[in-house]
Structure 1
Amino acid sequence: MRFAIKTRPEHTSWQQLRDVWIAADEYEVFESAWHWDHFYPLSGDMAGPNLEAWTTLAALAQATKRIRVGCQVTGMIYRHPAVLANMAATTDIISGGRLELGIGAGWNQMECDAYGIELPPLKERFDRFDEGTQALIALLTEKVANFDGQYVKLTDAYCEPKPVQTPHPPITIGGKGPKRTLRAVARWAQHWNVIVATPEEWKPLKDILVAHCEDLGRDVSEITCSVNVRIDPDVPLDQAIDTAITTAAAYGDAGVDLVVLNLPLDTPPTILEPLAKALA
């Protein structure tokens, strides 16, 4: 079983977010650190502060030395795939090759409406996601990329300099849609992340992923499977950590590779020491 942390860039300051990631960087039990890609808070006051994902991710990559860094997950609808490819390559360089490239089709209607960003119907959204993923990979791996899709077109397109990691930073696809999302995971991802209520809910989704991999001739063991486990902010810290570890162990027994521990909002860096000791 492997472990990661996830912070929420809502209702917090840059200094507090940075200090938590720097603290996590000191404990080898945490292999990666993540946050989300939203422009509005998802809890509390929707008009409150929420730090932008990729600019903070690049800064956090600079502030840390060891821990892998990622966004769980980037909404493909928010940025053209060619722009995202350049952002990812630059962030991977800044991190010295520690980027996890998390992507998803996007879903937040409220943010899209507020910013005038089109949120297409579900089928078109996933069609765009499939094309965007292929364009991303082409730009990150090919000297000159060309792609002629219905929604994404590249003509003698460059993405230079290339990322440190080859052939490209590991792609994490988030979601649990059995037909489109899990098939996209089987086709392109090195990491699948999903938020589910119980290990019993996770197991049939893993079976679907296995079937997609078999259909495409891919070994499912090449794909890291992760879930998120919340550390409850409403109970004493020792109890919250014990409950999270028990839950993580159950997911490990079910076959999950990586548990991402969702830290409470306004978490002080001091939470990392007891959490790391308990996990170790």
Structure 2
Amino acid sequence: MRFAIKTRPEHTTWQQLRDVWIAADDFEIFESAWHWDHFYPLSGDMAGPNLEAWTTLAALAQATRRIRVGCQVTGMVYRHPAVLANMAATTDIISNGRLELGVGAGWNEMETAAYGIELYPLKERFDRFDEGVQAMIALLTEKVANFDGTYVKLTDAYCEPKAVQTPHPPITIGGKGPKRTLRAVARWAQHWNVIVPGPEEWKPLKDILVQHCADVGRDVGEITCSVNVRIEPDQPLAAAVAAAAAYGEAGVDLVVMNLPLDAPPSVVEPLAKALAPLA
């Protein structure tokens, strides 16, 4: 089994978030570290602090040396895909090739309404997402990119300098929609992340992904499948470790351990030791 950590950039400070990632960087059992792409906290006081995802991610890439870095996941509605492609290329350069490019269609009505960002009807949102992923791949892989979509258009477009990783940073698509999300994973992603209650809910989704991969002629083994396990502050660490083990037995490749809110760096070492027998 493989492991990662995820921090919540809400109700915390930059210094504490940075120190947790630096601590995780010292333990090879954690292959990657993630945070989220929101502008408001998702718990507690909605008017409280929440660090912006990509500026923070670039700084965390500079602060660390080994661990892979990613956003789980970037809402496509928040940034034009051409802008996001350029951000990804630069962040990959800053990290010396450690970026995981996490993307999703977006969902947060509160944030989009507050900021005047249009949250399109569901079908259009996924149509835009599909076009956005293709446009980003074109910009990250082609010297001069052209794309003629319904919603996204590129005309002799450049994204220079290119990312360190080739052909592009691995794309993580997050979500569990059986028709659109999992089909997009099969077509373009190197990593699929989903949040589900347990292995029983994960297995049918994996079966759907296998079928989508067969439909497009792709080996599902090329795609890392990950889930999230939350570490509850009022429960023994052993409970989260047991949940991770159950996912491993079900066939999950990577378990992302969600650290408690405002967790100090000292939580990382006990977690690494508790997970070591599963690695």
- 1:279 pairs with 2:260: no
CA distance in 1, matches of 2:265, 2:59: 17
- 1:268 pairs with 2:237: no
- 1:217 pairs with 2:217: yes
> By how many angstroms is 1:70 displaced?
0.0
> By how many angstroms is 1:278 displaced?
1.0
- 1:249 pairs with 2:245: yes
Aligned to 1:38: 38
CA distance in 1, matches of 2:270, 2:39: 31
Secondary structure of residue in 2 paired with 1:96: coil
Query: In the TM superposition, what are the counterparts of 1:127-276 in structure 2 within 5 Å?
Result: 127-235=127-235, 239=236, 241-276=237-272
Aligned-residue RMSD, C-alpha:
0.4
Aligned to 1:55: 55
CA distance in 2, matches of 1:151, 1:203: 34
Q: Which whole-Å deviations, capped at 9, do the CAs of 1:45-93 have from their partners, x for residues lacking one?
A: 0000000000000000000000000000000000000000000000000
- 1:21 pairs with 2:17: no
Aligned to 1:124: 124
Which AA in structure 2 matches 1:262? N
Secondary structure of residue in 2 paired with 1:60: helix
Secondary structure of residue in 2 paired with 1:251: helix
Which AA in structure 2 matches 1:123? K
CA distance in 2, matches of 1:66, 1:207: 33
CA distance in 2, matches of 1:125, 1:58: 27
Structure 2 portions without partners, runs of 5+: none
> By how many angstroms is 1:267 displaced?
0.4
- The normalised TM-score by structure 1 is 0.98
CA distance in 1, matches of 2:254, 2:43: 26
Which AA in structure 2 matches 1:228? N
CA distance in 2, matches of 1:232, 1:110: 26
CA distance in 2, matches of 1:229, 1:217: 31
Aligned length: 276
CA distance in 1, matches of 2:234, 2:40: 23
CA distance in 2, matches of 1:175, 1:271: 28
> By how many angstroms is 1:266 displaced?
1.1
> By how many angstroms is 1:222 displaced?
0.1
CA distance in 1, matches of 2:120, 2:216: 28
- List structure 1 runs of 4+ shifted beyond 6 angstroms: none
Secondary structure of residue in 2 paired with 1:132: helix
Which AA in structure 1 matches 2:274? A
Secondary structure of residue in 2 paired with 1:225: strand
> By how many angstroms is 1:233 displaced?
1.1
CA distance in 1, matches of 2:46, 2:83: 27
CA distance in 2, matches of 1:107, 1:143: 33
Identity of aligned residues (%): 87
Secondary structure of residue in 2 paired with 1:168: coil
> By how many angstroms is 1:247 displaced?
0.5
- The normalised TM-score by structure 2 is 0.99
